[in-house]
Structure formats: structure tokens, C-alpha cells
Structure 1
Amino acid sequence: MSYVVLARKYRPRNFAEMVGQEHVVQALSNALEQQRLHHAYLFTGTRGVGKTTVSRILAKSLNCQGADGNGGITATPCGVCQACVDIDSGRFVDYTELDAASNRGVDDMQSLLEQAVYKPVQGRFKVFMIDEVHMLTGHAFNTMLKTLEEPPEYLKFVLATTDPQKVPVTILSRCLQFNLRPMAPETVHGHLTHVLAAENVPADAQALRLLSRAARGSMRDALSLTDQAIAFGAGKLEEAAVRQMLGSADRAHVVRIIEALAQGDGKTVVETVDALRVLGLSAASTLEEMSAVLQRMAVNQAVPGSADESDPEGAEVARLASMMPADETQLLYSMCLHGRTELGLAPDEYAALTMVLLRLLAFKPQGAGAIKEKKTLSETRPAAVPVAPALARAPQASPQPAPQPAPVPASAALAAPPPAHTTVARVAPVTAPVTAPVAAPVAAPPGRVLSVVESQGDKPPARPPASSNRPSGEVVGVPVRVQADTPREAAAPAALAPTEEGEFWFSVVGDLVAREAVTALVRELALQSQLMARDEGHWMLRVERESLNQPASRERLTTALNAAGHAVSLSVEVGPVTDSPARRNAAAAEKKQKAAEEVIHGDPFVQAMMRDFGAKIVPGSIKPA
């Protein structure tokens, strides 16, 4: 008799044997007991979590005939009737499984749906199970839409996928969706214990923990790895053999690395990595093991005493947690996670592993003295006097500065606010020649508070000579410039003052713009400039903005004038402009706007509406035609 692998031999036959998917089992069991059956189900989840198994159990529940042949729809199929036996063996004529990964076209879907018009032959319902449904083509999805929305009463659809994001929303909206979760290592460990006990295979608890973590939430992967471990260990499971099979680092190596990092011992770290290289253990699995240990260390540091007493590694994790500060634990955990992505980029994965581990030592403080110095650095410095915000200066009748008050003790300076007409000076130790402007260098012993310095209006303070050398303990007071209470009013644009030269320049520029001889910045230069003077062969222009006075713009404007019949050279100066083509255009537009507003306001109908109904003209809505 051929050997049946554990993943198939111990496939659940009913909902009671399902492990780790209680939320799905409860929902389906209640629906079956209350006869509230949907016509389409969608099961999603990663590989090996039970999607096909749930589909088969659901098909048996719908078609179970009972041990006496008189059963009906039930949440607990008998497993002995003809329908249950045939579904388990894969030969039930009314249960069809379609692999959409290899049958993904329109023709495959049409051949399946052609069977939907026929009633069940043996069972109570026809069940179409489409696995990896996200692999179907777009036309195949469209082919099944109508049948999936309104199937015959004897037809049930069961869809399964590992990537629900690729399933169209038109399919999702027609199905009840159940998400099968990845199983926790503890759940996998418990099921493996039950399976190995039934198989009479001796196993170490630590070996089962390794297999449970290596399965990564998939029960099928866990049973497959267990089959491999039994063959590798000659009928028994031992921790050393399982570690060698998985290529994972011995937990002793991981503990030694973490201890060396906690003590800042780079030599031990490098030697341990070399030992891993000699043993041929995976660098990625080493970082994975370290991440698992560091995660438990972080939990132990945050919640002391939370370790599982039945776990033999709990005491070791607690000891490591006491050796390393919590912030370094978090830092090393983050580096291990990110370091796994860097292994493939390095030419040698063990060199990359060494760099990842030594990176913590590069950021680790060198001894307790450095930490103490970092914490007490602010305590060794003299206390700085708090600086109040600069206050507005009150109007003064005389430009002369107010007399400086006498120096006061530090306690008084902290208690009394500064006068309203003064500016608070910032006090700071200086260790190099000061090049910033100061009113008058004032020397004072450390810890003394300087008298308030009155700012000297808009007059710049005298700059100290560059060669002056002050001792490191000298303190100076720097005056703060205070903005005036009333902001300066923006200068109003100069009014249009028509000139004879302006009239001539307006006509010339209007001709250039009409013929599109000037564009972009050259056109702006022509419109914003004023013709100040002209003689034979030379014209003088004036602009208000320096940004318009560019050599390239001047040359292009000169070329355009020469092409228009004005053989002249241009020179441009910067200054106030009172008569430019742009100002003339603005004045003309304003005149048209005022005329249009006068026409509207003088219209009898508008006046009647405003008088009788209180109508108002929306500002800005009047535009000249």
C-alpha cells in the first residue's frame, strides 16, 4: 500500500476537525442549521489554510444523506453515506473542481456553465468549486457574471483565491466572502502534537516549535515539513536535526550574538558570524531567529513577567532582556528586519550579516561615561537667562536713547518684566570673535545678567574689530531690531502723465504687438517701458523693474524695431515710469469700465429693480462690451 502524506491523510473531514478557522466554521455552521444558504461563496487566504477543505466539507453538508439514507442539509456530515465518501475520494458527479490556473479561458468557463442547466444526478445540489479564481481572464469573468448572479436553485458556486485584489468587484459583490487567516505558531504546534501522537513519532517540543514557526501560518506547509523532518531524522524529530534540515541558526549562536552586542564586544560578533559561515547556516534565518528573540525581549522589557513559564527559553529571554536597554532592543530589532532585505544586495551574505550586526555597535554609546556625559551635559553649563519676546517700542519724543538701568541680580531679572520701551538683549556665552553687529561689547562674569540695551533706532551699531579676542567666559549683549508699530504704506503707483514721446512709443509698440513681432518677455519690456528721449539712431527707455532689463530682451526688441523700419539702438535704465503703453492700456480699460458702469446704473429698468425690489448689482459683474 502506498504511503499517504500527512497533509492528505489528516485533511479535516468535517467542521469539527477544522483548526484555526473558527470564525468561518461558526458562520457556515449557523447558515446550514438555519437553512440560510447563499448561492455563491468566496474563500480567501494564503496557501495551506483550508480553502479547498472548507469547500469539500460544505459540499458534503449540502448533499449528506445520513447514515440511514434519510438525512438532510446538516452542519455535521456523517462521512459514511455515498455522497460523503464520493466527495472525499473526488468522484462525486455533482461536485466539480476547476483549477482556474490552467483552465482560465472563455471556452473553459463556457464548458463548465453548460452543465448548470442540468439538475443534480446523485446529490441534492450541484457544487462548482473554482480554485485560484483570480487567474481567470477578464472575458471568462464576464462569461460567468449572469449565471453567478442568478443561478438555478440547485446550483452553488464556491470560489477560492489567494489574491482577492485581482478578482473584479462585479464578482465580489455576488459572493459571500470569508477570509481564512494564517494560523498562529501555537495553533500549528498543537495540531502537530496531535498528528505525531497519532503516528507514534517521538518529537522534541523545541523541534515542533521550529517547524511551527517555519510553516509561516500554513498548516499544509507544517505537515509537509514534518514529513520531511521525519524522513531526515529516521523516524524521530530532534531539535538538532530539524535545525540542520531547515538551515536555521542554533539558538545558542543567536544568544551569543545578542550578548556580544549588549556588551559592545565586536570581536565575538565577528567570530560568531564566521562560525555560522563554517556550519553553512543561513544568514537570513539567523536574522529571523534574532528578530524572534528580540521581539520577546521587548515584550519582557515592556511587561515584566509576561514570559510563558512552560517555555524553556523564557528564562533565557528574561536574562537577555535585563542585559540590554529597551531602546537598543528596539534599534537592533529594526536593523534585523531591514538587514534581511540587504542580504541579496551584498556579494557575500555573511559579510552583509556582519555589517548589519556591527551597525548597532556604530550607534551604541561607548560605555556608561558617554551616557552620563550626555545626560549631565546641561547640568554642567551655566543656566541661561530666559529671553522674553521683543516688545513694541512706545513713541518717543526725542531720538536720544533712554538711560540704561543699573545691573540687577539674576533673581530680580527673572521676576520683573522688562520696561515697555526697551528691547530685551539675548545673553549667550561667546568662544570666538563675534562678527555680528553689537551695540557695545559688555563683559560680565558668567552667570551675571546684563542690563537691557536700548536699540539705536535705524542706525547700524558699530562693528567690533575682527582682531579682537575675548575670553571664553565673556558675555555680550546683542541689541534686537524692533519693527515699527505701524507698517509702511505701500507706495501707490504713479498716475499716468501723457507725454509726446509716450504717444509715439505707444503707437510703435501697438504696431509691434499687433503684428506679433514681439512676444513673451520682449513684449513685456516694450509695454512696461517709457520712451524718455530719442535722437537719430538712439532711443532711451526706462523701466521700473530690473528683471525686465535683460540683454537678450533688449537685443530682440532692437531687432524687432529695425525690422519695423526704425534703425536705432536702445539703451534701458531703471527708474520711475509715468507714461508707458501698459499704463495707457490700463487707463483706457478703466475708462471703458467706468462708462459701462454708468450705462448700467443709469438704465431705467435697473433703477426700477433696485428701487422696487431692493436689487443689487454684484460687484465685478459689469464688463464693457
Structure 2
Amino acid sequence: MAYLVLARKHRPRTFSEMVGQEHVVQALENALTSQRLHHAYLFTGTRGVGKTTVSRILAKSLNCQGPDGQGGITAAPCGTCQACLDIDGGRFVDYTELDAASNRGVDEVQALLEQAVYKPVQGRFKVFMIDEVHMLTGHAFNAMLKTLEEPPEYLKFVLATTDPQKVPVTVLSRCLQFNLRPMAPETVLEHLTRVLQSEAVPAEPQALRLIARGARGSMRDALSLTDQAIAFGNGELTEGGVRQMLGSVDRGHVYRLIEALARGDGRTVVETTEGLRRDGFSAASTLEEMTAVLQGMAVLQAVPARAEAVDAADPDAAETARLAAAMPPDETQLLYSLCLHGRGELGLAPDEYAALTMVLLRLLAFKPADAKTTHGEAAAEKKTLNEAVAPATAPATAPATAVVPVPPPVPSSAAARVQAAPPAVEDSRESAAPTSPAAPHAPGVPSGHRLPVREEGRFGPAAAAEPVLAPTPAANVLAMPVRVQPPPGARDAARDAPPTPIEPSEDGDFWFTTVTELVAAEAISALARELALQSQLVARDVDQWLLRVERESLNQAGSRDKLQAALANVGHAVRLAIEIGSVADSPARRNKQAADARQREAEEAIRSDPDVQSMMRDWDARIVPGSLRPA
């Protein structure tokens, strides 16, 4: 007798034998039991998850005659009557399977539909099963639309596809759609264990776990790999033989790599990668295994309670839990992202193992210098470093924003007046610049004089520091107007002109206060925040507010809904309406006006300061435009 492969020998013949598709089985069983039968079914899902199997079981349920020949429509076909045996054997005349991948034209579909006018010969129903239906041409779909919508009462359509996106919506709307899910590795493992027990084939649990992961959710692929592994192992399945057959990397290498990356041990990483090259393991397979392990680590780090439920019989699960406790969560996420994107770089490099080495060493390049210690020590050391060492790390050679010849020091009161200026609400697009630390003593500068420097901060260039003047003996200096020479390329006079004052109104004050509170609480962000800042409250009703914006790009449904939800959270459950027009009073304009007023006050305070005027008169000093910032 010819050998029958496991995928065909152990194909489910009833709904109760199906695994991993309970949501589909339950719906079909209830429909068959209550006799609520649709005329067209569409089964979608990846390869090997049971689309054709469900179709054949459904055909048997519709045509089963029972062991005594008196049966009816049932959710549990007997499997012994002539109809069930013929459908399992592929010779039932009223059950037709059409492969749309090779019969995709309108002629083949018309030939199938010509049989629809004839009643069943043996069974109760004719069942037309079209596999890979998305491969049909547009004309073929159009030819079957009318029959698919209103078929004879004795005709049922069953469509199957791996790509439902390519099926026209006119077909989708005429069918009941069921999505068969990819099967979890645990489900595949349990089914393989039962199959091999019935076949009396010895198998190691780790070997079956490798096959379950290698099947990638397809039960047919798992059974085919099992057939291959039985032949490779001469009748038995061992972990080493299955790993060699699949070409998968031993997870011991993967655990060694992850542990070395957690310790920051670059030497071990390089040596392990060279060992993978000598053993002939695939670089892509290595990254795949690392991605799977890192995903399990991230889950255990996010949900620590799951670590208590780790399967003690699975050594991989215990090792994953140990590494999850050894690596910080942020490094786990970074390494997962690097491995995921590194697979695309393997084909670009001249040597895939060199690309693998670079992908792994990239984490060490991004790892903080203090991350090699324990988590608690690293956090404390980093905090101390930021607080105590950061001022000393300012670049001493940064270019000065204003080089001013300094006379004998005199008391300065302008800096104190600028520092005491009350803060105003800033525009969301403006951020306060960090205060620059004092510059070190520069050669050629008298002792006690300091040069202002511009610090390149961690997140961008810092604002220029104002000159720091040491006290000098009192001098009688008369205030006098000083003319400041503008540098080349000065700003346009129109831009320096004071803006048109905003006329305050009750709606404007209310909207400014509300938006300021939302921004301060970070209740809105991105486009929703810009919509609130750039808009003017035109009118308020009990349940509707009207806003006006100048730019059409701000009038988006998503931004409006987010702003509307944020207002509802603070007690304003209203519906927002937006119009396009000229805006005279908005929170952004008020913030800009307040910021400009503070800037003018700071500049006027510096220019009118007697000490500054003395330096400008006696030493030909000048104020660098744009270097003043209100405190």
C-alpha cells in the first residue's frame, strides 16, 4: 500500500477534530444545528490552516445521510455513509472543487455555473468550492455575481482565499466571511504530540517545539516538516537532527549573544559570531531566533506575573526569564528593533556575517557608558553625573556671542532687572533655552572678567549668555542715548515693528485660559494643540462652540475630535465647529505678544543701563543683535 503523508492521513473529518479554529467551528455548528444556512461562505487565512478541510466537512454536514440512510443536515457527519465516504475520497458528484489558480478565466467559471441549473444527483445540496478565488479575472468575477447573489435553494458556494484584499467587494458583500487564524506554536505542539503517539514515532519535546515554531502557524507545514524529520532521523525525532534539518541556530548561541550584549562584552559577541560562521549557521536565522527570544523577554519584563507561570519543562522559557531579569527593558526594546531591521541589511552587505556582527555591535555603540553596571548603580551614577558633572562638560572653546572690552568693573543693575521679569505663557512652538554655565578663564583676559559662551546642549544649542560684569568702583555716568550700529543683513524693519495690539474680549480671555490649562496639563499635543493655539473662539452656545482658523491644514477631523475630547475631560462637553477666516485674537497671538513685550523690556533695560552705556561710549562696544534673552 502506498504511503499516505501525515498531512492527508490526519486531515480532520469532523468539526470536533479541528484544532485552533474554534471561532469558525462554533459559528458553523450553530448554523447547521438551527438550520440557518447561508448560500455563500468565504474562508480566508494563510496556507495550511484548514480552509479546504472546513469546506469538505461543511459539504458532508449538508449531505450526510446517517449510518441508516435516514439522517439529515447535521453538525456532526457520521463519516460512514456513502456521501461522507465519497466526499472524503474526492468522488462525490455533487461536490465540485475548482482551483482558481489554474482555472481563472471566464470560460471556466461559466462552465461551472452551467451545472447550477441541474438539481443534485446524490445529495441534498450541490456545493461549489472555489479555491484561491482571488486569482479569478475581473470578467470571471462579474460572470458569477448574479448566481452568487441568488443561487437555487439546492446550491451552496464555498470560496477560499489567502488574500481577501484582492477579492472584489461585490463578492465579499454576498458571502459570510470567516477568517481562519494562524495557529499558535503551543496548539501545533499539542497536535503533533497526538499524531506521533498514534504513529508510534518517538520524538523529543524540544524537537517538536522546533517544528512548531518553524511551521509559522500552518498545521499542514508542521505535519510536512514532521514527515521530513522522520525520514531525516530514520524513524525518530531528536532535537539535534531537527535543528540540523531546519538549519536553525542553537538557542544556546542566541542566549550567549544576548547575555554578552547585556554585559557589554564585545569580545564574546565577536567570538560567538565567528563560531556561527564556522558552523555554517545562517545569519538571518540567528536574527530570527534572537527576535523571538527578545519578544519573550519583553513580555516577561512588561508582565512580571507571567514569569511565575513559566513552563518548567521548557528550558528555553527558563533561560528567557533569566535574561529578562538581566537586561533593562529599554535595551531589550532597542535590541529587538535592531535585530528586526538588521535582517534587511544582510543582503546589502558583502558578507552576511559581517553585517550580523555590525547589527549586534550597534547596541554596544548605543549603550550608555554607565549601563554596564547593575540597574540601581547605573541609575544613581547617571543621576549624579547629570547633576554634578554636566556644568563642567561645557565646551571651553565655543564661540562667544559678544566680545566686549570691559573697563574697570562697575555695579550692574540691568541684569537683576532682566532676571526679575515675570514669566509669561509661552507659545507652544517656543522652548526656553537652558542657562549657559560660566565660561572658564580665557588667556589674555584680565582676571575677574568672564567671556560669555554659547553652550551646545544635549538637545540643541543653548541660548547665548549675557555678559557677567564684576563690580568696580562707583563712577558718575550720565545716561545718554546710544546709537547701535546694525550688523550686515539686519532684520527687516517691518518685522521689528510692534504687532497690532489685541483687543481683549470675554470669549478671547476664556479661550486663552482654557487652552493654556490644556497645554500645561499636556492634554493636547501635535495638531490638536496647534489647532487650539492658532484658533479664535468666535461664538459659544450651550452645546456648540465655533472656532475660526486661518489655515485650511488645521481644519482636520482627527485634530478637531481630539481637541473636543480634551475639552470634555475638563468639563466642556461641547461640539466644535470650525470655519476658515481671518484670526484677530488667538492664544498663539497672545503668547507671541507677551513674549515680544518681554523681549522689548529686556532690550530696553540693557540699552538704558548706565554701565552698558559707559562701555559703549568709552570702549566702542556694541550689543550683538539677537543675543539678549529675557530671564
Task: Say whether the 8 Å CA contact 2:436–2:453 is kept in structure 1.
Answer: no
Percentage identity across paired residues of the two chains: 74
1:283 aligns to what? 283
| Compared CA separation, residues 201 and 380, structure 1 to 2 (3 A) | same
Residue 439 of structure 1 contacts residue 461 of structure 1 at CA under 8 Å; is this kept in 2? no
Contact 2:261–2:269 (8 Å) recurs in 1: yes
Deviations 1:144-190 (A, max 9, x none): 11111111110000000000011111111111111000000011011
Q: State which of 316, 325, 329 in structure 2 corresponds to 1:326.
A: 329
Distance 1:192 1:404 in 2: 85
Equivalent residues in 2 for 1:483-522, closer than 5 Å: 487=500
Q: Does the aligned pair in 2 maintain the 1:32–1:73 contact within 8 Å?
A: yes
Q: In structure 2, do the counterparts of structure 1 residues 41 and 456 end up closer, same or farther at CA, with 3 Å as the change threshold?
A: farther
**Alignment of structure 1 residues 588-603 onto 2, 5 Å:** none
- Alignment-derived partner of residue 151 in structure 2: 151
Instruction: Pick closer, same or farther for the CA change 1:382–1:281 going to 2, 3 Å.
Output: closer
State the Cα deviation string for residues 225-262 of structure 1 (Å, max 9, x = none). Answer: 00001111111111111100000011111111112112
2:81 match? 81
Which of 354, 368, 374 is the aligned partner of 2:357? Answer: 354
Which piece of structure 1 moves more, 273-282 or 113-122?
Answer: 273-282
Which whole-Å CA distance do the structure 2 matches of 1:417 and 1:434 have between them? Answer: 21
Partner of 2:345: 342
Could you say which residue in structure 1 is the equivalent of 2:25? 25
CA contact (8 A) 1:339 1:353 kept: yes
Is residue 2:326 matched to residue 1:317? no
**1:556 match:** none
Structure 1 residues 142, 430: CA separation in 2 closer, same or farther (over 3 Å shift)?
Answer: same
- Higher Cα Rg: structure 1 or 2? 1
TM-score normalised per structure 1: 0.64
Cα offset for 1:374?
4.0
The answer to which of 113-122 and 357-366 deviates more is 357-366
* Match of residue 113 from structure 2: 113
**SS at 1:41 equivalent:** strand
Return the alpha-carbon distance in structure 2 between the equivalents of residues 119 and 344 of structure 1.
Answer: 57
Matches of 1:135 and 1:193, distance apart in 2: 36
Quote the RMSD (CA, aligned, Å).
Answer: 3.3
Alpha carbons 2:211, 2:222 under 8 Å: kept: yes
Q: Which residue of 2 aligns with 1:442?
A: 469
Shift of 1:315: 2.6
For the 8 Å contact 2:391–2:437, the answer to whether it is kept is: no
Q: Is the 8 A contact 1:439 1:462 kept in 2?
A: no
Q: Contact between 1:438 and 1:461, CA under 8 Å: does it hold in 2?
A: no
1:306 is paired with a residue whose SS is: helix
Q: CA deviation at 1:355?
A: 1.2
Task: Give the Å deviation of 1:301.
Answer: 2.2
What does residue range 52-451 of structure 1 map to in structure 2 within 5 Å?
52-307=52-307, 308-310=310-312, 311-367=314-370, 374-380=382-388, 428-431=437-440, 433-434=451-452, 441-443=468-470
**Aligned mates of 2:124, 2:155 — CA distance in 1:** 9
Q: Distance in 2 between matches of 1:191 and 1:457?
A: 93
Amino acid at match of 2:470: A
Q: Structure 1 249/456 Cα, relative in aligned 2: closer, same or farther at 3 Å? A: farther
Note the alpha carbon deviations across 1:107-142, whole angstroms, 9 max, x for none.
111111110110000000000000000001111111
Q: How does 1:537-556 map to 2 (within 5 A)?
A: none
- For residues 311-366 of structure 1, the C-alpha deviation after alignment (integer angstroms, 9 at most, x for no partner) is 22333222222322221111111111111121122222212111111111111233
Report SS of the residue matched to 1:230: helix
SS at match of 1:198: helix
Give the AA of the match of 1:363.
F
How far apart are the structure 1 equivalents of 2:127 and 2:322?
Answer: 57
- Which residue number corresponds to residue 600 of structure 1? none
SS at match of 1:186: helix
TM-score (norm 2): 0.64
Query: Secondary structure at the residue paired with 2:304?
Result: coil
Indicate how the Cα distance of structure 1 residues 375 and 93 shifts in structure 2: closer, same or farther if over 3 A, else same. Answer: same
Q: Distance in 1 between matches of 2:418 and 2:391?
A: 13
| Partner Cα separation in structure 1 for residue 6 and residue 27 of structure 2 | 28
Matched position secondary structure for 1:201 = coil
Match of 2:15 in 1: 15
SS in 2 for 1:127: strand
Give me the whole-angstrom Cα distance separating, in 2, the residues matched to 1:81 and 1:123. Answer: 11
1: CA distance between counterparts of 2:421 and 2:155? Answer: 87
Per-residue Cα deviation, 1:358-390 (whole angstroms, up to 9, x for no partner): 111111233558956642234216999xxxxxx
1:558 alignment partner in structure 2: none
Q: Deviations over 1:549-577 (max 9, x none)?
A: xxxxxxxxxxxxxxxxxxxxxxxxxxxxx
* Equivalent residue, structure 1, for 2:35: 35
Residue pair 1:440, 1:462 contacting (<8 A) in 2 also: no
The AA in structure 1 aligned to 2:87 is I
**Does the 8 Å contact 1:95/1:129 carry over to 2?**
yes
Residues 404 and 149 of structure 1, relative CA distance in 2, 3 Å threshold? same
Matches of 1:306 and 1:92, distance apart in 2: 50
Q: Which residue of 2 aligns with 1:542?
A: none
What residue identity is the alignment partner of 2:355?
A
Distance 1:292 1:69 in 2: 53
Q: Kindly provide the amino acid, as one letter, of the partner of residue 309 in structure 1.
A: D
In 1: Cα distance, 2:270 partner to 2:423 partner: 66
Shift of 1:74: 0.5
Partner Cα distance (2:61, 2:83) in 1: 10
Q: Supply the distance in 1 between the matched residues of 2:423 and 2:28 (Cα, whole angstroms).
A: 80
Q: 338-347 or 55-64, which moves further after superposition?
A: 338-347
- The CA distance in 2 between the partners of 1:237 and 1:86, in whole Å, is 35
How many residues end up aligned between the 2 structures? Answer: 435
After superposition, the Cα gap between the structure-2 partners of 1:57 and 1:442, relative to the gap in structure 1 and judged at 3 Å, is: same
Deviations 1:184-236 (A, max 9, x none): 00110110011011001111111111100000000000000000011111111
Question: In the aligned structure 2, how far is the partner of 1:428 from the partner of 1:380?
Answer: 12
Q: Do the aligned partners of residues 367 and 439 (structure 1) sit closer, same or farther apart at CA in structure 2, a change above 3 Å counting?
A: closer
**Whole-Å Cα distance in 2 between the matches of residues 457 and 36 of structure 1?**
95
Q: 1-side partners of 2:185 and 2:321: how far apart?
A: 21
Decide whether the 8 Å contact of 2:438 with 2:452 is kept in 1: no
Indicate how the Cα distance of structure 1 residues 266 and 428 shifts in structure 2: closer, same or farther if over 3 A, else same: closer
Q: From the superposition, tell whether residues 120 and 383 of structure 1 become closer, same or farther in structure 2 (CA, over 3 Å).
A: same
> Structure 1 regions of 5+ residues with no counterpart?
385-402, 445-454, 464-482, 490-625
The 3 A distance-change label for structure 1 pair 260 and 488 is: closer
Once the two structures are TM-superposed, the CA of residue 265 in structure 1 deviates from its matched residue by: 1.7
Q: Secondary structure of 2:234's partner?
A: coil
